[in-house]
Amino acid sequence: MTTTFAPAQEPTRIVIVGGVAGGMSAAARARRLDEQAEIIVLEQGDHVSFANCGLPYHLSGEITAREDLILHTPATLAASLNLDVRTGHRVTSIDKRSRKVTIAAGDHTYALPYDALLLSPGAVGVRPPITGLDHPAVHTLRTVPDVDGLRERVEELLAAHTESRPAPSAVVIGAGFIGLEAVEALTTRGLAVHLVELADHVLPPLDVELAPLLATELAAHGVDLHLGVSAQAITAATTADGTITPVTVALSDDATLAADLVIVNVGVRPASALAAEADLDLGPTGAIRVDVDQRTSDPYIWAVGDAVEVTQAITGARMPVPLAGPANRQGRRAADSICGRRTTPQAAVLGTAIVRVFGLTAATTGANQATLRRAAIAHEVMHIHPGDHAGYYPGSEEMHLVASFAPDGTLLGAQGVGRAGVDKRIDILATAIRAGMTADDLAELELAYSPPYGSAKDPVNMLGFVAQNALDNTMPQWQAQDLDRAMADTLILDVRSAAEFAQGHLAGALNIPHLELRARLSEVREVAGGRAISVYCARGPRSYLATRVLLSEGHDARSLSGGWLTLQAVHPDI
C-alpha cells in the first residue's frame, strides 16, 4: 500500500478502542512518551489487559488464581499510568470528518472527540454453519467470562460424577492452536474428549509430516480424534445407552458424539466492522489496511492487532495474523507514530507460533510447504530427527524438524515437534529467516553448547549441513511425497539392518544394510539394471552415507529425506 500521510499531529486526546493486547500496549507506550496527553481506553467487555493466552491454562487448573489472568484494572492503570480506562464502553461508530467516536455505555450513549484514534478491536470467532450452536452446553474460549463459564460447567460435571457413570465428556470442534489447548485442559481435568477437525490433520498449519506425531500424542492421552469431518448439528439428546447428556454432536460422516459440553474454536476473522462502517480501507480478507507505522487510510486513525492486515514475510501476501506478539509490537509502534516519534517500521510477519500438546511441543515459523506450493515458490524440503542435546548425556529427546529452503539456500520456513528443545530451535530459525539467512549461515551459526543443553553440531547446524548437501547435490534427495514415482521407476534400496527391514519395509525393496553396501555393489548394479536408486534408512543418516557410496560408483542415487519415519508419517498405510 502506498499512502502519503500528513505529518503526525501533536495529539492532546488519544482515544483507544480495545483494552487488551494491542490497545493496552499502545496506551502504556503513549503515556511513557507523553506525560501530558489525555489517554482514554474504551473497552466493551468487563476486563482490560487480561492474559487471553493464559485462559486455557486457567481452564486446566495450572493457573489457579483467576486474578493472575487480569494483569491490570482500570484503577491500577489510572494509578500507574494516569490512563482513563472505561470498561463496558462500546464504540458504535466513528465520524472521521468531525473526529468523534460514539460510545454506548449501558443505557447511555455519548460522543467523544479525539485527536488520534487507535483501533485495536481484535478478532471475532468464526461461527461455523452448525445448527444448535446456541445450546447452553456450547462454549467458546476467547474471554475471561468464557473461561469462567467453562470452569463452572466442568466443576459441576466433576461434582456430579460418580464411579458408576462414565466420565463427563466434551467435544472440541477445531484442532487449531486454541482448540488443542482446550483439549489438553479438559483432558487434564478428567473429561473424556472428542476432537473434531475438518482438515485431514490436527493443527492444520503444521506440515503433514509432523501432524501425525501430535495425533499419536493425543490418542495416547485418550483423546478420540475425528479428522476430515465436520460437525453438522448439535441437539439436545439422550444417548442409546440411556445416559442423559446435554447434547449430541452429529458429524458429516454420520457419527454422533454424546457430550456434556462442546467448545467451538474454528478460527477468527478481523473485527473490522467499525472500520468498514467508517469507510476505512480494508483488504480482501476484511482486515484493516495500515501502513508501516500502523496508520489507516485516515491520517488521524491508527489500527493494530488481529484486526489489521500484515505482509506475510515469505509470500508477500497481505493477511491478518492473529498472534499476541505482532499485536503488542504494533501497539507500541502506533503509539510512537501517534506521539510523533521515530518508529520501527512494521516488518513482514513470519507467523511464528507454538503450542504444547501434552508432552509434545509443536512450533512453526515462516511459510509451511502448503503455502509455498500455493505461492509457486520453488523450495527444497529437509527433514531431520536430531536429539535435543548430546545423545550420550542422559535424557536426550528426539525432535523432528522440517525446513524449506529456496534453491539459493535462503531459509523460507521451519517447523518442529518434540518433547524438548523445539522452542529454542524454532526461535533461532525465526531469527534466521528474519535475517535472510541461508543454509550456509545456519551451518556456521555458533550456538551455546554443553552436553545437557545441545550438541556440538546443534540441530540448527545440522539443518544447514543437510540443506547444503541437498542443494549442491552432494546428497540428492527424494521425498516421501515422491513415493509412487520412486516405486514405479527406480530401485528401492533399504539400507537398514535385516531386523529393521523385517519389521516393515517398502514392497519390492532390496535390503542391504549400509555397512555391507561396499561389499555388495555388484548385486546393487545387477538388480538396478540401469535404473536410478532410491535409498532409505530409518531417519536419514545411513541412507546419506549409502547414497554417497552409490554416487561415487556412478549410480543415479537419492536419499529419502527424513527416512522411514517421515515416510510413515506421510503414508501411514505402508
Catalog residues that contact ligand FAD under the rule CB under 6 A.
17-18, 20-23, 42-45, 52-53, 55-56, 90-91, 120-122, 141-142, 178, 271, 274, 305-307, 322-325, 327
Please list, in sequence order, all residues whose beta carbon lies within 8 angstroms of the beta carbon of residue 129, skipping any fewer than 6 positions away.
Answer: none
Report the length, in residues, of the chain.
574
Instruction: Give the nearest distance from C-beta 98 to ligand FAD in angstroms.
Output: 18
Question: How far is 434 from 314, CA to CA, in rounded Å?
Answer: 10
Cβ pair 402, 381 in contact under 8 A: yes
Cβ pair 381, 467 in contact under 8 A: no
Smaller CB separation from ligand FAD, 142 or 161: 142
Smaller CB separation from ligand FAD, 43 or 298: 43
Q: Hey, what's the torsion of the CAs at 441, 443, 445, 449, to 10 degrees? A: 170
Grid cell digits, residue 136: 447452553
Residue 161 CA, distance from chain mean position: 35
Smaller CB separation from ligand FAD, 305 or 540: 305
Cβ pair 304, 22 in contact under 8 A: yes
Instruction: Give the nearest distance from C-beta 266 to ligand FAD in angstroms.
Output: 13
Smaller CB separation from ligand FAD, 174 or 454: 174
Angle at which helices 563-570 and 211-220 pack, to 10 degrees?
Answer: 80
Smaller CB separation from ligand FAD, 306 or 336: 306
- Residue whose CB is nearest to ligand FAD in the complex, by number: 305
Instruction: Give the nearest distance from C-beta 146 to ligand FAD in angstroms.
Output: 8
Smaller CB separation from ligand FAD, 53 or 532: 53
- In the block, residue with C-alpha cell 525465526: 430
Instruction: Give the nearest distance from C-beta 55 to ligand FAD in angstroms.
Output: 4
b (16+ CB within 10 A) / e for 514-535:
beebeeeeeebbeebeeebbbb
Specify the DSSP class assigned to residue 572.
Answer: T
Smaller CB separation from ligand FAD, 310 or 443: 310
Instruction: Give the nearest distance from C-beta 220 to ligand FAD in angstroms.
Output: 23
Beta-bridge partner residues of 93: 102
Instruction: Give the nearest distance from C-beta 377 to ligand FAD in angstroms.
Output: 25
Instruction: Give the nearest distance from C-beta 57 to ligand FAD in angstroms.
Output: 9
Smaller CB separation from ligand FAD, 17 or 314: 17
Rg over CA atoms, the chain: 27
Smaller CB separation from ligand FAD, 140 or 438: 140
Please count the other Cβ atoms lying within 10 Å of the Cβ belonging to residue 27: 28
* Cα 86 to Cα 12, 78, 275, distances in angstroms: 18, 11, 20
Instruction: Give the nearest distance from C-beta 354 to ligand FAD in angstroms.
Output: 7
Instruction: Give the nearest distance from C-beta 46 to ligand FAD in angstroms.
Output: 9
Smaller CB separation from ligand FAD, 319 or 487: 319
HSE value, Cβ hemisphere, 13 Å, CA-based, for 361? 21
* Cα 533 to Cα 248, 478, 479, 486, 546, distances in angstroms: 53, 10, 13, 8, 11
Work out whether the CA dihedral 568, 557, 459, 468 comes out positive or negative: negative
Smaller CB separation from ligand FAD, 16 or 565: 16
Question: How far is 541 from 553, CA to CA, in rounded Å?
Answer: 19
Instruction: Give the nearest distance from C-beta 271 to ligand FAD in angstroms.
Output: 5
Instruction: Give the nearest distance from C-beta 436 to ligand FAD in angstroms.
Output: 23
